[in-house]
């Protein structure tokens, strides 16, 4: 152990780091910059500001001029997202033409921006479902302002739109940004229908090939997972299907790509399910058929 840094001591540290950076240059972490976590978080903040102005960050929206402010936010969002996507697409390989990457980034970004008003309407439906599903909820504003499950579905619908557009890195990073805050881990690939509601939410895991219908309700600690993690399964449907109007109570586990929870079925707390459940059925866990919150 050297007792205090000397110029020589520092040089050795720096040399070792540079060597380490270069050693994995096959993986190119340093040569080709990725969109950073910081910039992805900034993008998501811009989305939230545009979707629900005044709920997450303070805004000053004068009545007469709100059109200009909203337009400016749209431009800024498009600018931020285009930059992110350019970095993300460029990282796909050294043979990509920069001009083509730029065009693709702008096109995907503008398509996203064009989808933002419909996205807002879908999210308001999610918020209304939460208001109906939680006796403690007092207003739709409270849900938009405070519910982690609402934050989670907001992040998912944003990430999923980019996932479907074939964007690398960014969708997953948005999902993890939300996972960090809510404790809810939804893979950006999961298909989720309208009016989705997760209550409490900490510990929820929803796998990549899950498929969820409309009006589904899920509580904390629920896993929609795979029966196996063999690499050869990548790409196949490994996670369950939940049809419309399903409810899954806290701590339940539903596994397998061929497992279907039929329309209107209820999965009890802590239940462990690896086979399909008939529509309208009620499956209990290792304990009485309670519902809890």
- Segment 105 to 164, residues that bind its own copies, using CB under 8 A: 106-107, 110-111, 113-114, 116-118, 120-121, 124, 132-136, 138-142, 144-148
Q: Which of 185, 225, 226, 216 is nearest to 202 (CA)?
A: 185
Of the candidates 226, 242, 265, 266, which one interacts with its own copies according to CB under 8 A?
A: 226
- Least distance to its own copies, CB of residue 278, Å: 20
Question: Which are the contacts of 126, defined by CB distance < 8 A and separation ≥ 6?
Answer: 150, 153, 154, 194, 195, 196, 197
- Least distance to its own copies, CB of residue 213, Å: 20
Could you give the CA distance from residue 84 to residue 89 in angstroms, rounded to a whole number? 9
Backbone angles phi, psi at 52, to 5 degrees: -140, 75
Q: Would the CA dihedral through 121, 126, 131, 137 be positive or negative?
A: negative
Coil, strand, or helix at residue 81? helix
**Site residues (CB under 8 A) for its own copies, limited to 245-284:** 250-251, 253, 255, 269-270, 272, 274
**Site residues (CB under 8 A) for its own copies, limited to 51-110:** 52-62, 64-72, 74-75, 78-79, 91, 103, 106-107, 110
**Site residues (CB under 8 A) for its own copies, limited to 229-248:** 229-234, 238
Of the candidates 154, 162, 200, 218, which one interacts with its own copies according to CB under 8 A?
A: 200
Q: Which two tokens stand for residue 286?
A: 């290792």
Nearer to its own copies, 96 or 293 (CB): 293
- Least distance to its own copies, CB of residue 251, Å: 7
Of the candidates 16, 194, 278, 281, which one interacts with its own copies according to CB under 8 A?
A: 16
Give, in degrees to the nearest 5, the angle at Cα 258 between 257 and 261. Answer: 100
- Least distance to its own copies, CB of residue 112, Å: 10
Nearer to its own copies, 233 or 279 (CB): 233
Could you give the CA distance from residue 269 to residue 289 in angstroms, rounded to a whole number? 8
Report whether 285 contacts 250 (CB < 8 A).
Answer: no
Could you give the CA distance from residue 139 to residue 150 in angstroms, rounded to a whole number? 13
Nearer to its own copies, 75 or 278 (CB): 75
Of the candidates 129, 175, 212, 277, which one interacts with its own copies according to CB under 8 A?
A: 175
Nearer to its own copies, 29 or 280 (CB): 29
Could you give the CA distance from residue 283 to residue 280 in angstroms, rounded to a whole number? 10
């Amino acid at each position: 152990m050297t007792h205090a840094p000397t110029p020589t001591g520092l040089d050795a540290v720096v040399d070792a780091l540079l060597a380490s950076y270069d050693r994995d240059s096959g993986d190119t972490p340093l040569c080709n910059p990725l969109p950073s976590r910081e910039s992805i978080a900034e993008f998501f903040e811009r989305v939230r500001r545009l979707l629900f102005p005044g709920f997450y960050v303070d805004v000053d929206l004068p009545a007469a001029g709100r059109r200009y402010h909203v337009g400016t936010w749209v431009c800024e969002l498009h600018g931020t997202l285009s930059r992110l996507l350019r970095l993300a697409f460029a990282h796909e390989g050294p043979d990509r033409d920069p001009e083509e990457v730029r065009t693709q980034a702008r096109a995907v970004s503008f398509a996203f921006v064009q989808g933002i008003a419909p996205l807002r309407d879908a999210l308001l439906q999610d918020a209304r479902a939460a208001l109906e599903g939680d006796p403690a909820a007092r207003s739709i504003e409270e849900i938009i302002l405070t519910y982690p499950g609402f934050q989670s579905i907001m992040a998912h619908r944003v990430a999923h739109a980019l996932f479907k557009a074939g964007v690398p890195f960014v969708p997953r990073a948005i999902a993890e940004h939300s996972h960090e805050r809510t404790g809810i881990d939804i893979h950006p690939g999961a298909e989720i229908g309208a009016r989705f509601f997760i209550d409490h939410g900490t510990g929820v895991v929803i796998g990549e090939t899950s498929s969820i219908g409309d009006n589904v309700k899920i509580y904390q600690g629920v896993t929609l997972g795979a029966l196996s993690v063999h690499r050869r399964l990548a790409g196949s449907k490994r996670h369950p299907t939940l049809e419309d109007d399903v409810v899954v109570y806290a701590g339940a586990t539903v596994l397998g790509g061929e497992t279907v929870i039929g329309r209107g079925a209820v999965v009890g707390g802590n239940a462990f399910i690896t086979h399909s459940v008939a529509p309208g059925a009620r499956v209990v866990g290792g304990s009485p058929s309670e519902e809890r919150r």
